[in-house]
Structure 1
Amino acid sequence: MTSMISSTLRKGPIMASLLLAAFVALLSQTVLNVALPKMMEDLNVNESTIQWLSNGYMLVNGVLVPISAFLFNRFSTRKLFLVASSLFAIGTIICAFSGDFGVLLSGRLVQAVGAGILMPLMSVVILTIFPVEERGKAMGMMGIAMIFAPAIGPTMSGWVVEHYDWHVLFYIIMPLAILAVIIGAIFMKDVIKTSLPKLDTLGVVLSTVGFGGLLYGFSDAGTAGWGSTTVIVCLALGGLSLLLFVIRSLTAEKPLLDLNVFKYPMFSLTTLINAIITMAMFSGMILLPIFLQNIRGFSPLDSGLLLLPGAILMGIMSPITGMIFDKVGARWLAVVGLVITTITTYEFSHLTADSTYNHMMLIYTLRMFGMSMLMMPIQTAGMNQLPRRLNAHGSAMSQTLRNVSGALGTAILVTLMTNKTASHAKELILAGNVDTTDQTKMAEITQTAMIYGINHSFVVATWLTVAALVLAFFIRKVKPHEEPAASRADFTNFDDVE
């Protein structure tokens, strides 16, 4: 059961603590992507090994989120925030001074534990301290961290690895992580009422194996292929465990994750739309850098710089769309945003070897403008229907499904690109009766086939956005579900919060 404990809290300092911690956590999550090839060379490890710096982070983060609902009810907000932000800072320090891969991976996993608690904690605190009519603006501020940090990560990483040692990435993050702990120690307050819930140990095991298996299976499918034994075993084990977890959640008296959140139709609808949008969003984040670097020959820094204007615009627009949401609701924001996103995604399905840098930057920036109207307003619209006692469970469920859909979207789009590239290359070789030992001709065919594969994946992403657009017309403005009288008595009035 969650509720406000104090009615005299100052929301600004609490938000500042949360936003800084979330920004640093999300920046760290994406900052290594561009640097991995250089790190692989310096640490003398192969590609499958170095990927664990990203996959391990994602797995630990992903399996911790479902447990977060229990943690929020069991431990005070301040204590939980300080532990999570301190763990993240400690992990960053370990990474910054690591000398080999094992120490570096350990630091990344410690970081992931902190981040896995911080992100859902931010959502629940915002839902707790802000009244419904102000949540859009507050969630828009949260969107700055969620959108801006992952987008500037590759640009910063590209610049650092071109000019400095990769350790500098962690030297940059380290003081920010320590500052987040200090600010949190000064300003963070206890805003969620705690109780002594019993931990559903079986639920923890099933959710860890279930979500962990799916996340790893989908992630590995993007590189190893869907026929890989590891992928098949992980997906099968994850799917079975997840099924058992659902059964356990529906039958346990105090489940780890309360699936009753899906009894609220607007929450279910918006969660589905956000999952689809997340899958579509990854098309631009993954396929475009591949095109820029492998086809057009741009450097990692140039690739990152192309994405930067869109990231900045999205960060600026996030609080603005939040304020608009408070006035008009999510439906028309979502419809307009998805129309823009659909058109721009379709434009990316017509890439050629002659596509100019400025044209791609313009289309990507417009795409991010459309995306800025989607993620936070849609999520907030769904969360607004939940009674306060389910805020923690709703936040954890939404975050978990977003992680899974992101991994699934990546796997599907990369697989489609790879398969279409291979099949189209064969068609071109047969049609032109090309000698496969002719390296010049084969290089041309490989490039043409890869462009075809990337465009095909963007076509699929376009249809995903169309599906989300259709669903967006069913979004409506809702009020929080009324609590029974006995439960309502546990909550104080938000209007007194400064």
Structure 2
Amino acid sequence: MTNSTKTMQEIKRGPITVALIIGAFVAILNETLLNIALSDLIHYFHVTPTTVQWLTTAYLLVIGILMPVTALLTGWFTTRQMFLGAMSLFLLGTVICGFAPSFSFLLLGRIIQAAGSGLILPVLMNTILFIYPPEKRGGAMGLIGLVLMFAPALGPTLSGLIIASLSWRWLFYLVIPLAIFSILFAARFLTNVSEVTRPKVEVPSIILSTLGFGGLVYGMGSGAEGGWLSLVFMAIGVVSLVLFVWRQLVVSNPILDFRAFKYPMYTLATIILILVMVTLFATMILLPLYLQRALLLSSFAAGVVLLPGGLINGLLSPVMGKLFDKFGPRWLVTPGLLIMSVVIWLFSRLTVSESMLYIIILYAALLIGMSMVMMPVSTTGLNQLPKHMYPHGTAIMNTLQQVAGGIGTAVFIGIMVSGQQAYLNHSANPEAPSQVLQGLVAGMSRAFFIALAVGVVSLVLSLFLKRTFAPKEEQSEG
């Protein structure tokens, strides 16, 4: 115990945290950079919208498959090996994308990028849990929140600027030096903080996990365009997931240890995060559609409208982390969810003639509430786990959030479309442009109202959150 404590005291937290955050920022920024370029890629490679969408679907598919096995990989590789390997994969994928001579090569590069970026966030969160004591984790997790929100907020606006003056390839060219810098910085300053235990590789669990999460993500990503094939993949995914969970409970070396759920604050925090992610993804998919199709803004203008909220959220995340360390979760999370619920209710009342300033204010308020919720809830749940459960706890949280986001996107798009159709069915002139527009807003209002119901459930659950830590003897286990 003394040697372990001495080693932890000798670790320089600052450089390690900076090295990890730089890598995470580069990877997450890249995810949103490509979204606005999809229409350019359709024309450049002469592919259909359905085909180009695979650049997003395949990316999510790879991350969905990788997330559950990160706990196993953390047991087999050191912190440096995991991070430098992940960033090297990401760099390789970025180079392939930047110089891709065909769409197939571009898709291959995106898959390799996803393999790298899917490992970076779990490494980041696990390392923070290892090097910071529970009473100081809020501030460190707040820095992660800054990256998680600042990078996606900057992505669409930066992408719009680059595409307006340069070709889409520069979206990758400009990322290459950032990725190289991240690798060099991490090679110099990143040290190993986790223990390599080399757990037994449970092959059936990996197969079930791949079929389960892969089938679910693919089925939801294909959506209505996939037809019956989407339903088949989703059915395979659900059945495989049920078998996967069952197997994790009966084998001695699970790749995802669901015993993390015996800790009540971890379970409560995970449920709240799932509900919040469903609500967040609903907003993230519906609001840009409203800006572009109802208010008729360009992609770049829509990105500019959403930028202030993302920047405010990123800047507030470290502040909220410090406040969490001082006051605990309840005084942040419950007010934050209340703010989010009020904003989503206001979103459900949008019309076809709202001002851009009003949307900017609402979205900024939503993300202020989000900054009070995400990292405080995550930290509250993970703080109760013993040290040997950290990789499993973060892997479960990240995986379920990923699945919740995918489900939220598919479900709320479906609600919006059905709401629009219901409006048009009762319209005297359903093909009139004004009626189509009104139908779109009516469908979005219905979707936001359902999102509000989900938000209210998470608000009620937040009343039961409290600050907890793992017992001292459990913190030192593993």
TM-score (normalised: structure 1):
0.93
1:476 alignment partner in structure 2: 466
Q: Specify the code of the residue in structure 2 equivalent to 1:443.
A: P
Distance 1:412 1:180 in 2: 37
2:141 alignment partner in structure 1: 139
Q: Specify the code of the residue in structure 2 equivalent to 1:56.
A: A
1:61 alignment partner in structure 2: 63
The share of aligned pairs that are identical, in percent, is: 39
Distance 1:314 1:118 in 2: 21
1:15 alignment partner in structure 2: 17
Point out where structure 2 has 5 or more consecutive residues left out of the alignment. none
Distance 2:232 2:32 in 1: 27
2:210 alignment partner in structure 1: 208
Q: Specify the code of the residue in structure 1 equivalent to 2:413.
A: V
Check the 8 A contact 2:387/2:476 in 1, yes or no: no
Deviating more after overlay: 158-167 vs 124-133: 158-167
Report how far residue 158 of structure 1 moved. 2.2
Distance 2:149 2:188 in 1: 26
Check the 8 A contact 2:149/2:310 in 1, yes or no: yes
What are the within-5 Å matches in structure 2 for residues 18-33 of structure 1?
18-33=20-35
1:126 aligns with 2:125: no
Report how far residue 219 of structure 1 moved. 2.3
Count how many residue pairs are aligned between Structure 1 and Structure 2. 474
2:388 alignment partner in structure 1: 389
Distance 2:60 2:179 in 1: 19
1:361 aligns with 2:368: no
What are the within-5 Å matches in structure 2 for residues 61-460 of structure 1?
61-221=63-223, 223-224=224-225, 228-428=227-427, 432=428, 434=429, 442-460=432-450
Check the 8 A contact 2:423/2:439 in 1, yes or no: yes
1:494 alignment partner in structure 2: none
2:451 alignment partner in structure 1: 461
Distance 1:323 1:32 in 2: 33
Distance 1:488 1:361 in 2: 47
Distance 1:6 1:315 in 2: 29
The SS at the match of 1:7 is helix
1:36 alignment partner in structure 2: 38
Distance 1:483 1:360 in 2: 50
Check the 8 A contact 1:219/1:408 in 2, yes or no: no
Q: Specify the code of the residue in structure 2 equivalent to 1:284.
A: T
Distance 1:178 1:123 in 2: 22
Distance 1:59 1:231 in 2: 13
Distance 1:341 1:489 in 2: 38
TM-score (normalised: structure 2):
0.97
Check the 8 A contact 2:63/2:114 in 1, yes or no: yes
Report how far residue 489 of structure 1 moved. 6.8
Distance 2:350 2:164 in 1: 27
Report how far residue 482 of structure 1 moved. 4.5
Q: Give the number of the structure with larger relative contact order, counting CA–CA contacts within 8 Å between residues 6 or more apart.
A: 1
Distance 2:471 2:161 in 1: 49
Distance 1:196 1:231 in 2: 37
Q: Specify the code of the residue in structure 2 equivalent to 1:356.
A: S
Check the 8 A contact 2:386/2:477 in 1, yes or no: no
Superposed CA offset, 1:445-481 (max 9, x none): 1111001111111111111111110000010110114
